[in-house]
Protein backbone atom coordinates (compact mmCIF):
# COMPACT_ATOMS: atom_id res chain seq x y z
CA UNK A 1 0.00 0.00 0.00
CA UNK A 2 1.41 3.37 -1.02
CA UNK A 3 2.36 5.80 1.74
CA UNK A 4 4.17 9.13 2.04
CA UNK A 5 7.49 7.47 1.20
CA UNK A 6 6.10 6.05 -2.05
CA UNK A 7 7.17 7.73 -5.31
CA UNK A 8 5.17 9.92 -7.65
CA UNK A 9 4.54 8.27 -11.01
CA UNK A 10 4.58 10.57 -14.05
CA UNK A 11 4.20 9.65 -17.71
CA UNK A 12 3.99 11.22 -21.14
CA UNK A 13 4.62 10.21 -24.73
CA UNK A 14 8.06 11.80 -24.62
CA UNK A 15 10.05 14.72 -23.21
CA UNK A 16 7.06 17.01 -22.67
CA UNK A 17 6.15 15.53 -19.31
CA UNK A 18 9.62 16.38 -18.06
CA UNK A 19 8.45 19.99 -17.79
CA UNK A 20 5.87 18.84 -15.24
CA UNK A 21 8.25 16.40 -13.51
CA UNK A 22 10.82 19.17 -13.09
CA UNK A 23 8.23 21.52 -11.56
CA UNK A 24 7.10 18.76 -9.19
CA UNK A 25 10.69 18.27 -8.07
CA UNK A 26 11.12 22.01 -7.49
CA UNK A 27 8.05 22.25 -5.27
CA UNK A 28 8.45 18.82 -3.64
CA UNK A 29 12.21 18.25 -3.45
CA UNK A 30 11.99 15.31 -1.03
CA UNK A 31 9.68 13.32 -3.30
CA UNK A 32 11.05 10.58 -5.53
CA UNK A 33 9.78 10.40 -9.10
CA UNK A 34 9.31 7.45 -11.42
CA UNK A 35 9.03 8.84 -14.94
CA UNK A 36 8.01 6.91 -18.05
CA UNK A 37 8.39 8.44 -21.51
CA UNK A 38 6.63 6.40 -24.18
CA UNK A 39 9.01 7.51 -26.89
CA UNK A 40 8.28 4.42 -29.00
CA UNK A 41 4.72 5.62 -29.61
CA UNK A 42 5.04 9.41 -29.70
CA UNK A 43 3.24 11.55 -30.49
CA UNK A 44 -0.06 10.54 -28.86
CA UNK A 45 -1.75 13.50 -30.53
CA UNK A 46 -2.65 11.61 -33.71
CA UNK A 47 -3.36 8.17 -32.17
CA UNK A 48 -6.83 6.68 -31.69
CA UNK A 49 -8.39 6.86 -28.20
CA UNK A 50 -8.23 3.05 -28.08
CA UNK A 51 -4.47 3.06 -28.69
CA UNK A 52 -3.89 5.87 -26.17
CA UNK A 53 -5.89 4.01 -23.52
CA UNK A 54 -3.97 0.80 -24.22
CA UNK A 55 -0.59 2.51 -23.88
CA UNK A 56 -1.71 4.44 -20.80
CA UNK A 57 -3.00 1.34 -19.01
CA UNK A 58 0.25 -0.53 -19.56
CA UNK A 59 2.25 2.42 -18.30
CA UNK A 60 -0.08 2.81 -15.31
CA UNK A 61 0.45 -0.86 -14.45
CA UNK A 62 4.20 -0.28 -14.64
CA UNK A 63 4.02 2.74 -12.32
CA UNK A 64 1.72 0.95 -9.88
CA UNK A 65 4.27 -1.86 -9.90
CA UNK A 66 6.70 0.69 -8.46
CA UNK A 67 4.18 1.38 -5.66
CA UNK A 68 3.53 4.94 -6.87
CA UNK A 69 1.14 6.94 -4.70
CA UNK A 70 0.24 9.23 -7.63
CA UNK A 71 -0.35 8.55 -11.32
CA UNK A 72 0.20 11.91 -13.01
CA UNK A 73 -0.68 11.91 -16.70
CA UNK A 74 1.66 14.71 -17.83
CA UNK A 75 0.05 14.60 -21.26
CA UNK A 76 -2.80 16.79 -22.44
CA UNK A 77 -3.90 14.21 -25.00
CA UNK A 78 -4.36 11.55 -22.32
CA UNK A 79 -6.03 14.10 -20.04
CA UNK A 80 -8.43 15.20 -22.80
CA UNK A 81 -9.36 11.91 -24.43
CA UNK A 82 -9.31 8.91 -22.07
CA UNK A 83 -9.00 10.40 -18.60
CA UNK A 84 -12.25 9.04 -17.13
CA UNK A 85 -11.42 5.51 -18.27
CA UNK A 86 -7.90 5.75 -16.85
CA UNK A 87 -9.22 7.00 -13.49
CA UNK A 88 -11.52 3.99 -13.28
CA UNK A 89 -8.56 1.77 -14.10
CA UNK A 90 -6.36 3.09 -11.28
CA UNK A 91 -9.25 2.42 -8.84
CA UNK A 92 -7.99 3.21 -5.33
CA UNK A 93 -4.39 2.14 -5.83
CA UNK A 94 -3.08 5.66 -6.50
CA UNK A 95 -4.20 9.27 -6.77
CA UNK A 96 -4.90 10.18 -10.43
CA UNK A 97 -3.88 13.69 -11.54
CA UNK A 98 -4.25 15.21 -15.00
CA UNK A 99 -2.87 18.41 -16.51
CA UNK A 100 -6.07 20.07 -17.73
CA UNK A 101 -8.30 20.52 -14.68
CA UNK A 102 -5.68 22.35 -12.55
CA UNK A 103 -4.92 24.75 -15.40
CA UNK A 104 -8.57 25.56 -16.11
CA UNK A 105 -9.18 26.15 -12.41
CA UNK A 106 -6.14 28.45 -12.20
CA UNK A 107 -6.93 30.60 -15.24
CA UNK A 108 -10.57 30.97 -14.23
CA UNK A 109 -9.33 32.70 -11.07
CA UNK A 110 -6.37 34.57 -12.55
CA UNK A 111 -7.80 35.69 -15.92
CA UNK A 112 -11.61 35.53 -15.57
CA UNK A 113 -12.33 38.24 -18.16
CA UNK A 114 -9.74 37.21 -20.70
CA UNK A 115 -10.06 36.08 -24.31
CA UNK A 116 -8.49 32.61 -24.42
CA UNK A 117 -6.55 30.82 -27.13
CA UNK A 118 -5.54 27.18 -26.90
CA UNK A 119 -2.94 25.32 -28.93
CA UNK A 120 -2.37 21.58 -28.66
CA UNK A 121 -2.34 18.26 -30.47
CA UNK A 122 -5.10 17.21 -32.85
CA UNK A 123 -6.69 14.94 -30.24
CA UNK A 124 -6.58 17.51 -27.46
CA UNK A 125 -8.17 20.20 -29.62
CA UNK A 126 -10.77 17.95 -31.27
CA UNK A 127 -11.88 16.65 -27.85
CA UNK A 128 -13.15 20.11 -26.93
CA UNK A 129 -12.05 19.49 -23.34
CA UNK A 130 -10.51 22.91 -22.72
CA UNK A 131 -13.37 25.09 -24.07
CA UNK A 132 -15.97 22.96 -22.29
CA UNK A 133 -14.20 23.13 -18.93
CA UNK A 134 -13.34 26.84 -19.27
CA UNK A 135 -16.90 27.84 -20.19
CA UNK A 136 -18.24 25.75 -17.32
CA UNK A 137 -16.24 27.91 -14.89
CA UNK A 138 -16.43 31.17 -16.89
CA UNK A 139 -19.81 31.21 -18.66
CA UNK A 140 -19.64 33.20 -21.89
CA UNK A 141 -15.84 33.13 -22.05
CA UNK A 142 -14.40 33.61 -25.53
CA UNK A 143 -12.27 30.57 -26.35
CA UNK A 144 -10.50 29.81 -29.64
CA UNK A 145 -8.69 26.53 -30.22
CA UNK A 146 -6.22 25.44 -32.87
CA UNK A 147 -4.35 22.19 -33.45
CA UNK A 148 -0.58 22.60 -33.86
CA UNK A 149 0.50 19.03 -34.66
CA UNK A 150 4.04 19.80 -35.84
CA UNK A 151 5.20 21.38 -32.57
CA UNK A 152 5.59 18.25 -30.42
CA UNK A 153 7.52 16.23 -33.04
CA UNK A 154 9.61 19.33 -33.76
CA UNK A 155 10.57 19.56 -30.09
CA UNK A 156 11.23 15.81 -29.83
CA UNK A 157 13.66 16.17 -32.75
CA UNK A 158 15.50 18.97 -30.97
CA UNK A 159 14.38 21.88 -33.16
CA UNK A 160 14.26 24.58 -30.48
CA UNK A 161 15.45 28.21 -30.59
CA UNK A 162 16.42 28.02 -34.24
CA UNK A 163 15.17 29.19 -37.63
CA UNK A 164 13.16 26.00 -38.25
CA UNK A 165 11.21 26.20 -34.99
CA UNK A 166 10.69 29.95 -35.28
CA UNK A 167 9.23 29.53 -38.78
CA UNK A 168 6.81 26.81 -37.66
CA UNK A 169 5.79 28.76 -34.56
CA UNK A 170 5.23 31.91 -36.63
CA UNK A 171 3.11 30.03 -39.17
CA UNK A 172 0.82 28.62 -36.48
CA UNK A 173 0.49 31.67 -34.24
CA UNK A 174 -0.27 34.04 -37.10
CA UNK A 175 -3.47 32.09 -37.86
CA UNK A 176 -6.63 34.21 -37.70
CA UNK A 177 -8.17 31.81 -35.16
CA UNK A 178 -5.79 33.17 -32.54
CA UNK A 179 -6.38 36.83 -33.38
CA UNK A 180 -7.35 38.81 -30.31
CA UNK A 181 -6.02 36.22 -27.88
CA UNK A 182 -5.13 37.74 -24.52
CA UNK A 183 -4.28 34.50 -22.70
CA UNK A 184 -2.74 31.58 -24.59
CA UNK A 185 -2.89 28.14 -22.97
CA UNK A 186 -0.11 25.78 -23.96
CA UNK A 187 -2.27 22.67 -24.26
CA UNK A 188 0.66 20.28 -24.60
CA UNK A 189 3.35 19.64 -21.99
CA UNK A 190 6.00 19.80 -24.73
CA UNK A 191 5.23 23.43 -25.46
CA UNK A 192 6.78 25.03 -22.35
CA UNK A 193 10.12 24.09 -23.92
CA UNK A 194 9.40 26.70 -26.62
CA UNK A 195 7.47 29.09 -24.33
CA UNK A 196 10.05 31.87 -24.65
CA UNK A 197 9.83 31.72 -28.43
CA UNK A 198 6.04 31.97 -28.23
CA UNK A 199 6.21 34.90 -25.81
CA UNK A 200 8.61 36.71 -28.13
CA UNK A 201 6.34 36.12 -31.12
CA UNK A 202 3.55 37.94 -29.27
CA UNK A 203 5.98 40.70 -28.29
CA UNK A 204 5.37 39.96 -24.58
CA UNK A 205 1.77 41.20 -24.87
CA UNK A 206 -0.04 37.88 -24.34
CA UNK A 207 -0.27 35.83 -21.13
CA UNK A 208 1.28 32.48 -22.06
CA UNK A 209 0.12 29.84 -19.57
CA UNK A 210 2.57 27.05 -18.77
CA UNK A 211 0.81 24.16 -17.04
CA UNK A 212 3.88 22.68 -15.32
CA UNK A 213 4.05 24.77 -12.14
CA UNK A 214 0.26 24.99 -11.91
CA UNK A 215 -0.04 21.20 -11.95
CA UNK A 216 2.85 20.78 -9.50
CA UNK A 217 1.21 23.22 -7.07
CA UNK A 218 -2.11 21.38 -7.42
CA UNK A 219 -0.39 18.07 -6.70
CA UNK A 220 1.32 19.49 -3.62
CA UNK A 221 -2.07 20.59 -2.29
CA UNK A 222 -3.51 17.12 -2.76
CA UNK A 223 -0.59 15.41 -1.03
CA UNK A 224 -0.72 17.90 1.85
CA UNK A 225 -4.44 17.32 2.34
CA UNK A 226 -3.92 13.55 2.40
CA UNK A 227 -0.79 13.77 4.58
CA UNK A 228 1.23 12.01 1.90
CA UNK A 229 4.10 14.50 1.58
CA UNK A 230 7.47 12.77 1.80
CA UNK A 231 9.72 13.78 4.68
CA UNK A 232 12.59 11.46 3.76
CA UNK A 233 15.53 13.10 1.99
CA UNK A 234 17.71 11.28 -0.51
CA UNK A 235 14.99 9.51 -2.48
CA UNK A 236 16.09 8.43 -5.94
CA UNK A 237 14.41 9.53 -9.17
CA UNK A 238 14.11 6.89 -11.89
CA UNK A 239 13.62 7.50 -15.60
CA UNK A 240 12.32 4.93 -18.07
CA UNK A 241 11.64 5.14 -21.81
CA UNK A 242 10.11 2.73 -24.28
CA UNK A 243 12.73 3.68 -26.89
CA UNK A 244 15.99 5.45 -26.20
CA UNK A 245 16.72 8.83 -27.80
CA UNK A 246 19.75 11.02 -27.15
CA UNK A 247 17.60 14.14 -26.98
CA UNK A 248 15.47 12.73 -24.17
CA UNK A 249 18.57 12.25 -22.03
CA UNK A 250 19.82 15.76 -22.82
CA UNK A 251 16.50 17.40 -21.93
CA UNK A 252 16.16 15.35 -18.74
CA UNK A 253 19.61 16.42 -17.57
CA UNK A 254 18.86 20.05 -18.46
CA UNK A 255 15.67 20.06 -16.37
CA UNK A 256 17.00 18.09 -13.41
CA UNK A 257 20.52 19.54 -13.47
CA UNK A 258 22.17 16.19 -12.85
CA UNK A 259 23.26 13.13 -14.77
CA UNK A 260 20.27 11.01 -15.70
CA UNK A 261 20.42 7.27 -16.26
CA UNK A 262 17.74 6.19 -18.71
CA UNK A 263 16.48 2.63 -18.67
CA UNK A 264 14.71 1.26 -21.73
CA UNK A 265 11.70 -0.92 -20.92
CA UNK A 266 9.43 -2.58 -23.48
CA UNK A 267 6.00 -2.90 -21.89
CA UNK A 268 4.41 -4.33 -25.03
CA UNK A 269 6.37 -7.53 -25.62
The tens-digit pLDDT sequence of the chain (269 residues) is 678 999 999 999 999 999 999 999 999 999 999 999 999 998 999 999 999 999 999 999 999 999 999 999 999 999 999 999 999 887 677 999 999 999 999 999 999 999 999 999 999 999 999 999 999 999 999 999 999 999 999 998 899 999 999 999 999 999 999 999 999 999 999 999 999 999 999 999 999 998 999 999 999 999 999 999 998 876 789 999 999 888 888 899 989 988 889 999 999 87
Query: Which of 20, 75, 125, 186 is an active site residue?
Result: 75
Q: Which CATH architecture has domain 101-211?
A: 3-Layer(aba) Sandwich (3.40)
CATH for 8-98+213-264 is 3.40.50.1860
Residue 234 has a pLDDT of 63
Q: Do 135 and 162 meet the contact criterion of CB atoms below 8 Å apart?
A: no
For the chain, how big is the Rg over CA atoms in Å? Answer: 18
| Residue 188 annotated in active site | yes
Query: Which of 24, 141, 188, 215 is an active site residue?
Result: 188
Residue 247 has a pLDDT of 85
Residue 91 has a pLDDT of 63
| Residue 68 annotated in active site | no
What global pTM score does this model have?
0.94
The CATH 3.40.50.1860 domain(s) of the chain lie at: 8-98+213-264, 101-211
Amino acid sequence: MADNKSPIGIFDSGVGGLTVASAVKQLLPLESIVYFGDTAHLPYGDKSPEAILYYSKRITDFLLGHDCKVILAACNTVSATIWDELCRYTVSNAIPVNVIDPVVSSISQQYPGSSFGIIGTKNTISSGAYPEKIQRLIPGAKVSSMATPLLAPMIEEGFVDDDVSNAIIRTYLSDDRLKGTETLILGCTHYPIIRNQIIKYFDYKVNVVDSAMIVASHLRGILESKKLISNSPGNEDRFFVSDYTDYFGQIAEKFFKKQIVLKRVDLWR
